[in-house]
Amino acid sequence: MRTIKGPAIFLAQFAGDAAPFDGLAGIARWAAGHGYKGVQIPSWDARLIDLARAAESTTYCDELRGTLADAGVMLTELSTHLQGQLVAVNPAYDLAFDGFAAPHVRGNPAARTAWATEQLMLAAKASANLGLSAHATFSGALAWPFVYPWPQRPAGLIETAFDELARRWLPILNAFDAAGVDLCYEIHPGEDLFDGTTFEMFLERVGNHPRCNILYDPSHFVLQQLDYLAFIDLYHARIKMFHAKDAEFNPSGRQGVYSGYAPWAERAGRFRSLGDGQVDFASVFSKLSQHGFDGWAVLEWECCIKDSEQGAAEGAPFIESHIIEVATRAFDDFAASGVDEATNRRLLGIG
């Protein structure tokens, strides 16, 4: 068993155009001031990182880490959630997702996919230059519009979608393998990898690639009504990253999992600040520790009720209080009898 590192915080939901959130040094000092020991950086936010420069310059990477160290935090991982989304986009979402892409590839799905793929390739090199071991992303989605279909899905549609998804991601996985970095897909509704079954379908198609791994976030499983603790038992060998995010599911006579297009605050399933939802984090941290997860516990704040500043301030001590310093000896070592192999054999009647 190993001890989870933390607390850390994902900066995507906090970066902004006003100080201290408009630059890496300022936001890092802010995070440290709330008690965070690490930060996870969204690679698409030029206010925080130049991804292309990080991929080509170890000097720049040393300077970036130095900026964080001066503030009192470490870099935990980079994220390409937005770019990963664009590796695979069903035409139904072309217009909605175009805003994630660089201006020169918008309106051109093929160019957008090529740009997104190159962004992931840069992220592999940047992660290696920064001395990181894991990277966060989304899988994108070709099949998601057909998750609950009417009319019936044509035979072979899902298989074709996952074959293509694997074809697009395999070169990226190979690049991360060459860089020595685990690529961790956040298992998330809206992506083709949204539960254990879909992850297995993808994993099989990429040949059980050693760099194909999971960013575990229990909040997305609460909203699906999936057993988020059993998920750890099933997939712990592939869980290489952890977002600590809370959620609640309160179905009614009017709403269930789909929530009837209601705004977030009125949905049956909604994200909450840490400690305000229904996730059993004591059991989550216990399960992850039991199975040897020694990555970072990273707060991802998404709450439709509580202010982000309060959520951030409460998140660090919440995570800190749940981190388990794993045992280095058995609790009953005091009663060890000190017998040897010969005695053991006699006790079993096989001496």
The token pair that represents 309 in the structure block: 């500043």
The token pair that represents 173 in the structure block: 């996985």
Q: Is 5-347 assigned to CATH 3.40.50.300?
A: no
Q: Does pLDDT of 331 surpass 70?
A: no
pLDDT band at 328 (very low <50, low <70, confident <90, very high): confident
Tens-place pLDDT, residues 74-132:
999 999 999 999 999 999 999 999 999 999 999 999 999 999 999 999 999 999 999 99
pTM of the model as a whole: 0.94
Question: Average pLDDT over the chain, rounded to whole?
Answer: 96
In percent, the amount of the chain with pLDDT more than 90 equals 92
pLDDT of residue 203: 98
pLDDT of residue 231: 98
Give the separation between CA 75 and CA 134, rounded to whole angstroms.
11
> From start to end of the chain, where are the E strands?
5-10, 38-42, 74-80, 134-137, 182-186, 212-216, 239-244, 246-249, 269-272, 296-299
Tens-place pLDDT, residues 258-306:
999 999 999 999 999 999 999 999 999 999 999 999 999 999 999 999 9
Q: Does pLDDT of 335 surpass 70?
A: no
The token pair that represents 63 in the structure block: 């300077």
Q: Does pLDDT of 339 surpass 90?
A: no
Give the residue carrying structure tokens 């006003």.
Answer: 18
Q: Does pLDDT of 155 surpass 90?
A: yes
pLDDT of residue 338: 73
